[in-house]
Chains A and B, each alone.
Chain A
Amino acid sequence: MSGEIQVTSATQRTQDDDEAIGAVKEPPEPAPAKPARNAQGATLNVFSNAFLVLWVVMAAGPLVWVMINSLRESADITGSPFGWPTSISLENFTNAWSDANIGKYALNSLIILCGSLPGTMLLGSMAAYVIARFSFRGNRVIYLLFAGGMMFPIILAVVPLFFVMDNFALLDTRHGIILAYIAYSLPFTTFFMTAFFRTLPGSVAEAALIDGASHTRTFFQIMLPMAKPGLISIGIFNFLGQWNQYFLPLALNSTDPDKALLTQGLAELSVNQGYEGDWGALFAGLTIAMVPILLVYMVFQRQVQEGLTAGAVK
């Protein structure tokens, strides 16, 4: 858990810094050691800010460019890549939404996520709880089995996976994709939640059991609510991971275009636009896919950053 704690403290620290800087408006004072450091600090300041601003343009520029172009007509875009929309028309968006089926694909992605995300969280926490808090024969083996799954690239398993899914008649079905998402999210979810459940105090669970609650009840009514911070972190991690998944749908869900997910739909749109030259619809489709995620991120940016950094590097 140390990763998460570090992240929290650091974020607070930077916030403090910001406030402190905002409060102190006076010109830079000489540092205690040497007066020369002051000049050095000032040059460094300009230098560092220039680089930082440059990367803001680099990071956000392409996204802003896409959003602006989504409001322009395809002919204008072909004429000049840069430029402001001459008139605000939402035609591109309606084209993307209905003709290019972005609306349908987004709905497909949402349906999958409604099954896979709760499923991942529930099954992952169940396995993690048992592994973290009970000792039984094979505990260590099961833990290593899950943890080991984080190391291996999905691509290695994809060919046999395709045929396993085929044998169970799960190929190109919604529940099949949901199950695959859950299965491939389990290693990290279980690993993370095991560590989290180990940090929770055991006395509360014991009290519940003395009061006559069953193990199941203790888990759902006592331990799971106590694990909420961990669930939020791993939930964000899985939400973004599953919403953004491209590889599994491509391999397991590619025959029926009606069931395509948003990522597949965008890739498809990008190919088609090459033939039809409908740049406007492509940019509108991208905007539709980007903006909601970016808005959610900006609202919950602290939790998202913590969730992903605590999640991705352990």
Chain B
Amino acid sequence: MANDVRAVDGKPTGPAPRKDGERTSFGDYLLFAATLVLPPRFTPDRVRYDRRYRTLDKYRFISWFLLVPLVLYAILVISPFFQAFYYSLTDWSGFSSDFSFVGMDNYERMLDDSDFWASVKNSLLLLVVAPLVTLGLGLFFAFMLQAGGRHKKSEAISGVRGAKFYKIVYFFPQVLSVAIIGVVWGAMYDPITGPINEVLRTFGLGSWTQNWLANPDIAMLCVLFVLCWMFIGFYVVLFSAAMGSVPKDIYEAALLDGASRPTTFFRVTLPLIWDTVQTGWIYMGIQALDGFAIVHIMTINAGGPGNSTLVTPVYLYKKAFDAGQAGYATAVGVVLLVITMIFAAIMMLLSRRERIEF
């Protein structure tokens, strides 16, 4: 066992200074190298009582602990990621092992690919509208929960009764699988057995009934709605947590100054939780840009009718695994990554504000 504590933490322990007169034979190095791969208890005594054992023990521990996670991560995450850039420059079909390097051909092909542009258009629609709706409603409900309650003598602002219950129920969709949600909403939208049309009929709005997912004009809105439905509860919980951490005397001061509740929200609450809104915005944007499972499960032919609900990830998947155009599909993936990055950068710039401490 290691009897030395100095190796832990703190300053970097560089290699021990080597004196000229000291004997470090080739055999010693072999022994050190062997020690690196041995469990601590089998450390030869000769090494254990060496001046440099402390460093050796530390590096032995570090390399053993990092080995498995790093190898797994490098093989299954990092290497595919970099391979994607390379494959995007080839005409690889994915089925055979031979392919040739075609440079930017895949990217040029994308320019004339109307299916691709349709998918980008739909993805961008999700990217812009879904976060707006979700975060807007999330903020609204969270503020209702935190400040919608009756006034009491002692408190300037109070939460509604049963706030905890609301938060539990709102969070339901967040714990369920996207696959379950896709199937449930597929059934909800069903023109015959679905409850949406039935509700409309009950209220005498029979003319509004639709074959929701089969109507190219409406199908995308249906997808958008489900995406927002999934995430609103999450943001209600997140934002009410952030609002709860704002000191109450700030609200009291605002109310004493005669601020109405909307004013309180826009002038006090929102600026104070802006950090959370900003990260939430980026997170929701990335989630909305994906939308893979919902579209893949819920819509007709995964992206139909026509191209009306095709989103870029689904298009990529179809190209790679159905059409056998792996090279082209990875090029689509690279463009998707670029869109994600641009979105994150724009949002960081646009939403940058001075941070308020409280």
Query: Could you tell me which A residues sit within 8 Å of B by CB distance?
Result: 6-7, 9-11, 13-15, 17-18, 20-22, 24, 28-34, 37-38, 40-42, 44-45, 48-49, 51-52, 55-56, 58-60, 62-63, 65-66, 77-78, 80-82, 123-124, 126-127, 129-130, 133-137, 142, 145-146, 149, 151-153, 155-165, 168, 179-180, 182-184, 186-187, 190, 202, 205-206, 209-210, 212-217, 219, 240, 243-244, 246-247, 250-251, 262-264, 266-267, 269-270, 279, 282-283, 286, 289-290, 293-294, 297-298, 301, 304-305, 308-309, 312-314
**B151 contact from A31, A56, A186, A212, Cβ within 8 A:** A31
Q: Is the CB of B80 within 8 A of A164?
A: yes
Residues on A with beta carbons closer than 8 Å to the beta carbon of B176 = 63, 244, 290, 293-294
Q: In whole Å, how far is A266's beta carbon from the nearest beta carbon of chain B?
A: 5
Q: Is the CB of B316 within 8 A of A62?
A: no
Q: Which of B108-116, B162-170, B214-222 contacts A (4 or more CB under 8 A)?
A: B162-170
Q: Is the CB of A65 within 8 A of B241?
A: no
Name B316's closest neighbour in chain A (CB-CB): A155
Q: Is the CB of B188 within 8 A of A62?
A: yes
Residues on A with beta carbons closer than 8 Å to the beta carbon of B8 = 133-134, 202, 205-206, 209, 215
Q: Which residues 142-161 in B have Cβ within 8 Å of A in the complex?
A: 144-146, 148-153, 155-156, 158-161
Selected A-B contacts with CB under 8 Å, 22 pairs: A14-B167, A28-B152, A51-B141, A56-B170, A77-B193, A81-B197, A142-B70, A153-B289, A156-B336, A157-B81, A183-B76, A186-B73, A205-B9, A209-B5, A212-B3, A214-B61, A215-B2, A215-B57, A246-B297, A266-B179, A289-B180, A301-B168
A153 to B198, CA, bound (A): 39
Q: Is the CB of A59 within 8 A of B169?
A: yes
A88 to B193, CA, bound (A): 20
Q: Is the CB of A66 within 8 A of B187?
A: yes
Q: Is the CB of A187 within 8 A of B151?
A: no
Q: In whole Å, how far is A197's beta carbon from the nearest beta carbon of chain B?
A: 11
A77 to B279, CA, bound (A): 43
Q: Is the CB of B171 within 8 A of A180?
A: no
Cβ-based interface call for B37 (8 A): no
Name A28's closest neighbour in chain B (CB-CB): B150
Residues on B with beta carbons closer than 8 Å to the beta carbon of A44 = 148, 261
Cβ-based interface call for B132 (8 A): no
Cβ-based interface call for B77 (8 A): yes
Name A38's closest neighbour in chain B (CB-CB): B151
Q: Is the CB of A246 within 8 A of B179?
A: yes
Q: Is the CB of A158 within 8 A of B255?
A: no
**A298 contact from B70, B153, B168, B174, Cβ within 8 A:** B168
**A17 contact from B159, B188, B316, B344, Cβ within 8 A:** B159
Q: Is the CB of B193 within 8 A of A209?
A: no
Cβ-based interface call for B183 (8 A): yes
Chain B, residues 238-261, CB within 8 Å of chain A (1/0): the string is 101111110000000001101011
Name B86's closest neighbour in chain A (CB-CB): A160
Q: Is the CB of A155 within 8 A of B290?
A: yes
A164 to B71, CA, bound (A): 13
Residues on B with beta carbons closer than 8 Å to the beta carbon of A216 = 40, 61, 64
**B183 contact from A40, A205, A282, A298, Cβ within 8 A:** A282
A137 to B233, CA, bound (A): 43
Chain B, residues 1-42, CB within 8 Å of chain A (1/0): the string is 111110111111000000000000000000000000000100
Answer whether A7 and B62 are a contact pair too, CB < 8 Å, given A78-B193, A187-B77, A308-B174. Answer: no
Residues on A with beta carbons closer than 8 Å to the beta carbon of B336 = 153, 155-156
Cβ-based interface call for B121 (8 A): no
A263 to B297, CA, bound (A): 10
Answer whether A21 and B166 are a contact pair too, CB < 8 Å, given A182-B72, A266-B179, A282-B183. Answer: no
**B76 contact from A180, A214, A243, Cβ within 8 A:** A180
Classify chain B: how many residues form its interface, as a range: 35 or more
A294 to B330, CA, bound (A): 37
Residues on A with beta carbons closer than 8 Å to the beta carbon of B212 = none
A60 to B184, CA, bound (A): 12
A290 to B149, CA, bound (A): 32
**B180 contact from A153, A157, A183, A286, Cβ within 8 A:** A286
Q: Is the CB of A313 within 8 A of B276?
A: yes
Q: Is the CB of A309 within 8 A of B9?
A: no
Cβ-based interface call for B229 (8 A): yes
Residues on B with beta carbons closer than 8 Å to the beta carbon of A163 = 94
Q: In whole Å, how far is A210's beta carbon from the nearest beta carbon of chain B?
A: 5
**B238 contact from A58, A146, A212, A309, Cβ within 8 A:** A309
Q: Is the CB of B148 within 8 A of A305?
A: no
Answer whether A134 and B62 are a contact pair too, CB < 8 Å, given A153-B336, A286-B183. Answer: yes
Centre residue among A159, A186, A251, A309 by max chain B CB count within 10 A: A159
A282 to B146, CA, bound (A): 39
**B80 contact from A11, A22, A157, Cβ within 8 A:** A157
Residues on A with beta carbons closer than 8 Å to the beta carbon of B79 = 160, 164
Residues on A with beta carbons closer than 8 Å to the beta carbon of B152 = 20-21, 24, 28-29
Given contacts A45-B149, A123-B72, A163-B94, 20 further A-B contacts (CB under 8 A): A17-B159, A31-B255, A51-B140, A55-B166, A123-B68, A127-B69, A134-B9, A156-B334, A156-B336, A157-B84, A159-B320, A180-B76, A186-B72, A206-B9, A214-B57, A246-B292, A246-B293, A247-B292, A267-B296, A305-B167
Centre residue among B58, B166, B187 by max chain A CB count within 10 A: B187
Residues on B with beta carbons closer than 8 Å to the beta carbon of A240 = 175
Q: Is the CB of A80 within 8 A of B198?
A: yes
A73 to B333, CA, bound (A): 45
Cβ-based interface call for B53 (8 A): no
Centre residue among A51, A155, A282 by max chain B CB count within 10 A: A155
